[in-house]
Amino acid sequence: MSVRHTLLGLLAKEPRYGYELRASFMALAGGAQNWEVKPAQVYTTLNRLVEAGLITRSAPDGGGDEKVVYQIAQAGQAELEKWLGEGSLSDPQQDAFFLKLMLSLELPEVDAMRLIQTQRAALYQELHRITTLRGELDPHRELARILLMDKAVMHLEADLRWLDMIEARLDEVKKQPVPRPELRPRGRPSGK
């Protein structure tokens, strides 16, 4: 929902063209290296916002090839205020590496310890990349981006500590049963 609500926020400041919204979103996010939003995603989101009555779309009087201008509606302003007033949490339990690890316990040809080592190397590479980017930022002009980079560093460091915990307890995890779904019989119930 972040793209949707950020577009609403940008429109709350002033009406804009779709191209301007995409450029403003990417500038606000710190550039394509931080969060690239494709033009198709912006226009799809804008169309959904129009359909939901959260923004309006107006074409210039002349029709033709002129650009469409988007403007926030009263319902969109209320939606934006609601979003700004809520906390923002990402779901830390949806982790791709965790799924790889659980699969490695099911697949005898996959070495779980090797997965951990590969993940650790990837995290260290990303930590180096983020630290390098952070070091290139000007604290007098880009403090907000520096703080975002600090958050990224802290998340990466937490992931590295988590890998250490997994590695230390991997033998215990391997001894436990792999979670299995509770399957229900399919088809029609038998009639009595």
Residue 90 in any domain: the answer is no
pTM to 2 decimals?
A: 0.70
Instruction: Provide the CATH number for the domain around residue 38.
Output: 1.10.10.10
Task: Give mean pLDDT, residues 44-56.
Answer: 95
Q: Which of 84, 117, 149 is the last residue of a domain?
A: 84
Going by pLDDT thresholds of 50, 70 and 90, the confidence category of residue 49 is: very high
CA–CA dist 58, 68 (Å, integer):
6
Task: Give mean pLDDT, residues 156-162.
Answer: 96
CA–CA dist 86, 105 (Å, integer):
39
Each residue of 91-147: pLDDT tens digit?
777 788 998 998 888 888 889 999 999 999 999 999 999 999 999 999 999 898 899
- 139: containing domain: 96-175
Residue 62 has pLDDT above 70, yes or no: no
Claim to verify: residue 171 and residue 101 sit in the same structural domain: yes
CA atoms within 13 A on the CB side of 46: 25
The mean pLDDT value of the chain amounts to: 88
Claim to verify: residue 109 and residue 168 sit in the same structural domain: yes
User: Regarding predicted confidence, which is higher, 117 or 187?
Assistant: 117
What phi, psi does 58 have (nearest 5°)? -135, 130
Going by pLDDT thresholds of 50, 70 and 90, the confidence category of residue 79 is: very high
Claim to verify: residue 101 and residue 169 sit in the same structural domain: yes
Residue 182 in any domain: the answer is no
Please report the pLDDT score of residue 191 as a whole number. Answer: 65
Claim to verify: residue 63 and residue 135 sit in the same structural domain: no
Residue 184 has pLDDT above 70, yes or no: yes
Stretch among 76-90, 120-134, 143-157 having the lowest mean pLDDT? 76-90
